[in-house]
Amino acid sequence: METAPPGASWSEGLDETAVRPIDHYRFFDRNYKSLPNKLGWWTQEGQDKRFAMVIQDVEARTPLRGLTVHDAGCGHASLLKCLEERGVRREDYTGTDFFENALAIARRNVGADVRLVQTDLLNGEIPTTDVTVLIGVMAFYTPEEVFTILSKCWANTNKTMSFTVWPADPAYPQYLTIVDTHKAVERFIAEANPTFLARRETMEKHMDLIFTLYK
Ligand SMILES: C[S@@+](CC[C@H](N)C(=O)[O-])C[C@H]1O[C@@H](n2cnc3c(N)ncnc32)[C@H](O)[C@@H]1O
C-alpha cells in the first residue's frame, strides 16, 4: 500500500508562492530529499505500479515491441527500463521535460545516447510517435491547459496515448478544480473520438485515474 510521508497530503507541502507549474517541481527538488526520486511520487512502489498499469493498458490493443514512444514529462526517464523490457528500442524512445534538473538526472540514469529533449508541453514542439504517455504530468494546470496539453499530444500520436489525472475525490481540498479538470478531460475524449478507451482507477491514496485512448 502506498503511503504519504507523515502529515503529508497531496496538497500539503506544495509551494504556496508557486506561480508556474515548473515552480512546484523546483520546490520538490529542493525540499523533498526523503522522496525516492523527488518527482512528487511518495514511493517507488507507487511509481512502479503506475508504470505497470499504463503499459498494460497500452498493450491491451497494441504490443509495444518496435513502436516509437514519447514519454512526455519524463522526469528521470525511469519509464524507459520498463519500455525496454516490453521490446521498445532505446533509439525509439523520446523523453521530454521542461525541468532542466530532471533531465540532468535522466541523462545520468539512462545514458547520453537516449533522446531527451527540454520542451514545454504547453507551448513547445511535441515529437510525433506511435505512443505517447503522460504519467503524473498534469497536476498543476488549469482545466483549459490540461485540455491543450492533451490535444497537442494526441495530434502527435499515431496509435495510442495514455495519461493520468487526479481522482475527483471530495476529500481533496482542490476538489472543485479537479472536477473542472475532469470535465476538460471528458471534453478532450469526446473531441479525440478514440476507437477504444480504457479507463481505470488505481484505488490507492495519492494515485490517479489512468485513461488510454486508441486511434
Ligand atoms: C511527477 S513527475 C513524473 C515524471 C515521470 N513521468 C514519472 O512518472 O516518473 C512530472 C514531470 O512532468 C514534468 N512536466 C510538468 N509539466 C510539464 C510541461 N508543461 N512540459 C514538460 N514537462 C512537464 C515535470 O518537470 C516533472 O518532471
What does the pLDDT read at residue 206? 55
Q: Does the CB atom of residue 99 touch ligand 1 within 6 A?
A: yes
Q: For residues 181 and 161, what is the distance between their CA atoms, to the nearest angstrom?
A: 18
Which residue owns the Cα nearest ligand 1 atom 25? 99
Test site for ligand 1: of 38, 39, 126, most ligand atoms within 8 A of the Cβ: 39
Which residue owns the Cα nearest ligand 1 atom 4? 75
Question: Which one of 1.10.3720.10, 3.30.300.10, 3.40.50.150, 1.20.59.20 gives the CATH number of domain 21-214?
Answer: 3.40.50.150
Q: Does the CB atom of residue 15 touch ligand 1 within 6 A?
A: no
Share of the chain above pLDDT 90, in %: 61
Measure 170 CA to ligand 1 centroid, in angstroms. Answer: 25
Residue spans per domain, the chain:
21-214
**Cα angle, residue 206 at apex, residues 201 and 210 outer, rounded to 5°:** 30
Q: Does the CB atom of residue 95 touch ligand 1 within 6 A?
A: no
Which residue owns the Cα nearest ligand 1 atom 8? 135
- pLDDT tens, residue by residue, 43-97: 777 788 889 999 999 999 989 999 999 999 999 999 999 999 999 999 999 999 9
What does the pLDDT read at residue 19? 62
Q: Does the CB atom of residue 102 touch ligand 1 within 6 A?
A: yes
Q: Does the CB atom of residue 25 touch ligand 1 within 6 A?
A: yes
Measure 61 CA to ligand 1 centroid, in angstroms. Answer: 26
Which residue owns the Cα nearest ligand 1 atom 2? 39
Mean pLDDT of the chain: 86
- pLDDT tens, residue by residue, 97-154: 999 999 999 999 999 999 999 999 999 999 999 999 999 999 888 899 999 999 999 9
Q: For residues 33 and 26, what is the distance between their CA atoms, to the nearest angstrom?
A: 12
- pLDDT tens, residue by residue, 8-48: 444 555 555 656 777 777 777 777 666 666 666 667 777 88
What does the pLDDT read at residue 173? 67
